[in-house]
Amino acid sequence: MNCRLAAGWLEPVRRLPSPNCDQRPVDTAIDLLVVHNISLPPGHFDNGCIDALFTNQLDPIAHPTFRGLEGCTVSAHLLIDRHGSLTQYVPFHMRAWHAWESFFQQRTRCNDFSIGIELEGCDDVPYERVQYLRLAEVIRLLQKHYPALNQERIVGHSDIAPQRKTDPGKAFDWACLFTLLAGADESG
């Protein structure tokens, strides 16, 4: 992947702007990266439903599990699908609505100071190797622009909202990600 960051957007990456974002508080440093998972319906992939959710176009009657999402306004900065393709919904300097009620190191409202990256997946289905490779590549690029995003500040959604979230789940291999970030294994 040969990406660059320009005006908060990765280029060349598929861009699908979400209305579910706003300005970060003034003088707030970006110093946390939150890894999430998402699949709609749960356990189903490659169907466009994530794009629909993040752009407020998900049909609540298309699947029984969507009924609870009606009127839900959520987003993430970036999605890495099962094939390793990237879709960016919110520029990194803006606040995406991915973490909601959350807490990290005596700070609340993690959306204010974090970047949210969704992996297409679910808690108990192994992620694809290409997703780890893409995630590591993206993180390394982001670390050049946001140097506070060190290993201790790369967390799962479950770490900042443990009472209500479990993602990225037990299937996520943190050791693999951190090995890739260290550059010990960059083969595909």
How long a stretch of residues is the chain?
188
> Which residues, 6 or more positions from 119, have their beta carbon under 8 angstroms from its beta carbon?
35, 36, 37, 38, 79, 80, 127, 131, 135, 168, 172
In angstroms, the first-to-last Cα distance of the chain is 12
Closest Cα partner for 51 from 35, 38, 67?
A: 38
Whether 152 is a known active-site residue: answer no
Q: Transcribe 104-115 into DSSP letters.
A: ETTEE-GGGGEE
Q: Transcribe 160-186 into DSSP letters.
A: HSTTT--TT-TT--HHHHHHHHTTS--
Of 70, 118, 120, 137, which one is the catalytic site residue? 118
Return the active site residues. 118
